């Protein structure tokens, strides 16, 4: 009897494992498309092949053509690609699986954003303004308004470089006095995450108010930074920020797991941002 019970348990466990797989998803600001350096692009290809991601969302694909992104995708076993625009700073996406229902919004956005469907999930790739917190607030409202207009509310991932701080990290920012260099930067270069003399947390807060979940703070207790890397040298604590995100709609709360800010010898030097990855469970029908 015990053997039969164990056998039945084994069969059930096997069926459950077979009934669910997971997509590995990476979001990566690729630093002016790796500064157009062939050697740096080659290192990315080797790194991406080792990661075996199913989907990669890109930011800072600067002056890249759709054909170039297609070639990049094919080099990492991603035969499907989509690009928001071919001039200036663009977002894009590559995938092992077909990309459908592509929507692009450029007007009124600093870099533009795009939405696309992969395996019944709605990927929204964004790169918000690096300069103005007021602009970022307007952009994130445009994104959520567009999703509402398109009747996209389920199985949504909003991912990319948001150039914005999250209130869940405020204890670390306050301890390391992130505000002082931020105010100095604001006065000299207009690169700001400060508002009325305080750190600005409005963009992530807005998405949370709209029901979206920050996959990092949802799963991880503690701070880690996604910017900057070691590409410009050692990073003081007061400069460390988490500004790259993968937000998901509430229905994906249990499906989105294992958020990682991927730090290794390659990503230390490849871009000025670290990539962010998650696993997304996909039920098999």
Q: Domains of the chain: which residue ranges?
A: 21-164+200-283
| Measured distance CA(110)–CA(136) in Å, rounded | 9
Evaluate if residue 61 carries a pLDDT over 50.
yes
| pLDDT given for residue 239 in this prediction | 92
Q: Do residues 160 and 226 lie in contact, with contact meaning Cβ atoms separated by under 8 Å?
A: no
Mean pLDDT, residues 77-106: 97
Enumerate residues 6+ apart whose C-beta is below 8 A from 119: 23, 97, 282
Per the omega criterion (within 30 degrees of 0), is the bond before 228 cis? yes
Checking if the pLDDT of 20 tops 90, the result is no
φ, ψ dihedrals at 100, nearest 5°: -130, 175
CATH classification of 21-164+200-283, choosing from 3.60.10.10, 3.30.70.1450, 3.30.70.120, 3.40.50.2000? 3.60.10.10
Instruction: Report residue 264: phi and psi, to 5°.
Output: -150, -175
Between 166 and 5, name the one with better pLDDT: 166
What one-character-per-residue DSSP string does 159-172 give? Answer: EEE-----GGGHHH
Answer yes or no: is pLDDT of 98 > 60: yes
Region 25-43 average pLDDT: 96
pTM for this predicted structure: 0.90
Can you spell out the DSSP letters for 79-113? -EEEES-SSSEEEEEEESS--EEEEEE-TT-SS-E
Nearest to 55 by CA among 280, 206, 285, 283: 280
Task: Please determine, for residue 269, whether its predicted confidence score (pLDDT) is greater than 70.
Answer: yes
Is residue 114 pLDDT above 60, yes or no?
Answer: yes
The confidence score (pLDDT) of residue 197 equals 78
Residue 16 has pLDDT above 50, yes or no: no
Please give the mean pLDDT across all residues of the chain: 91
Q: Token pair of 219, please?
A: 């799963």
Kindly report, residue by residue over 179-231, the tens digit of the pLDDT: 887 776 654 445 567 777 789 999 999 999 999 999 999 999 999 999 999 99
Strand, helix or coil for residue 60: strand
Among the residue ranges 17-26, 70-79, 91-100, 224-233, the one predicted with the least confidence is 17-26
């Amino acid at each position: 009897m015990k053997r039969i019970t164990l056998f039945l348990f084994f069969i059930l466990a096997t069926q459950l494992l077979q009934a669910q797989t997971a997509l590995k998803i990476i979001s990566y600001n690729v630093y002016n498309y790796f500064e157009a350096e062939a050697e740096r692009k080659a290192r990315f290809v080797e790194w991406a092949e080792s990661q075996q991601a199913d989907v990669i969302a890109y930011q800072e694909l600067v002056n890249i053509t759709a054909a170039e992104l297609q070639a990049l995708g094919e080099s990492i076993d991603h035969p499907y690609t989509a690009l928001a625009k071919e001039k200036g700073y663009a977002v894009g996406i590559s995938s092992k699986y077909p990309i459908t229902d592509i929507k692009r919004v450029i007007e009124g956005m600093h870099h533009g954003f795009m939405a696309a469907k992969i395996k019944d999930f709605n990927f929204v790739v964004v790169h918000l303004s690096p300069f103005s917190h007021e602009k970022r607030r307007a952009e994130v409202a445009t994104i959520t308004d567009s999703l509402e207009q398109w009747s996209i509310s389920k199985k949504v991932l909003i991912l990319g470089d948001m150039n914005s701080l999250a209130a869940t990290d405020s204890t670390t920012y306050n301890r390391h006095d992130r505000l002082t260099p931020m105010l100095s930067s604001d006065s000299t270069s207009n690169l700001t995450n400060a508002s009325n003399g305080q750190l600005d947390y409005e963009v992530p807060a807005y998405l949370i108010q709209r029901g979206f979940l920050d996959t990092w703070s949802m799963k991880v207790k503690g701070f880690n930074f996604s910017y900057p890397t070691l590409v410009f040298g050692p990073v003081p604590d007061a400069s460390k920020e988490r500004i790259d995100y993968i937000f998901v709609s509430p229905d994906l709360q249990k499906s989105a797991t294992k958020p990682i800010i991927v730090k290794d010898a390659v990503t230390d030097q490849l871009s000025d941002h670290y990539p962010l990855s998650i696993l997304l469970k996909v039920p098999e029908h």
